Structure 1
């Protein structure tokens, strides 16, 4: 069974994305990244990305992670804060710790594509 199916499919992904962005936008360390961003469009992309990353049936046809995050100067601390919000969101929605760990294992390799190359080199 895919991670997508084990957490409840599309409904669970929808709930997770909504709660995740509520948490992220309330975080003063992260809110500036979303100024002027079309949040409905971003949430749609996020739902498709998460569903695809977790083995769901949706196809993600958005930009690659490096392109989507280029120029945002995202630090390792920023990345860790977002991952923390995602883990907290999933825990709040009742996703078992084992599944959160499986999800983290899928997303952790994206760090090198999202964190600013300048910071990774430094």
Structure 2
């Protein structure tokens, strides 16, 4: 059985997914302002790739802040969190990720919800 990392097509596939969902975030009226104000979007993308690679069981190490520290003081709402999740799912769909794999990624991301919303 392939690992989650392999089913996401490794670092290359994850990089495409991150590129897709960051572009969607920048166009999504619910969250666009937050992402337009990111000083170094390329760094944010790199951290997203590292985070997803490491979380999916890939060999890459995640060198960023933990989710609680990264989102502390941002007062992210439930609606914003769901908008981000929708964009991530759309990115996976665009890259041809199957439903079972998307479900695994969604479950992982939902497990982090408490470290992101209203912290």
Is the pair's TM-score, using the shorter chain for normalization, greater than 0.5? yes
In the alignment, what sits opposite 1:41? 43
Whether contact under 8 Å (1:70, 1:114) holds in the other structure is yes
Counterpart CA distance in 1 for 2:89 and 2:40 is 24
Cα root mean square deviation, aligned: 1.0
Determine helix, strand or coil for the equivalent of 2:106: helix
Moved segments of 4+, more than 6 Å: none
The residue correspondences of 1:100-115 to structure 2 (distance < 5 A) are: 100-115=102-117
Aligned length: 117
The residue correspondences of 1:7-26 to structure 2 (distance < 5 A) are: 7-26=8-27
C-alpha distance 36-83 of structure 1, shift in aligned 2 (>3 A)? closer
- Return 5+ residue gaps in structure 1 as ranges: 118-122
1:31 is displaced (CA, Å) by 1.2
In the alignment, what sits opposite 1:91? 93
Cα deviations by residue, 1:27-72 (Å, 9 ceiling, x for unpaired) = 1110111214210111111100010111111010211101101111
- Return 5+ residue gaps in structure 2 as ranges: none
1:90 is displaced (CA, Å) by 0.4
Whether contact under 8 Å (1:33, 1:72) holds in the other structure is no
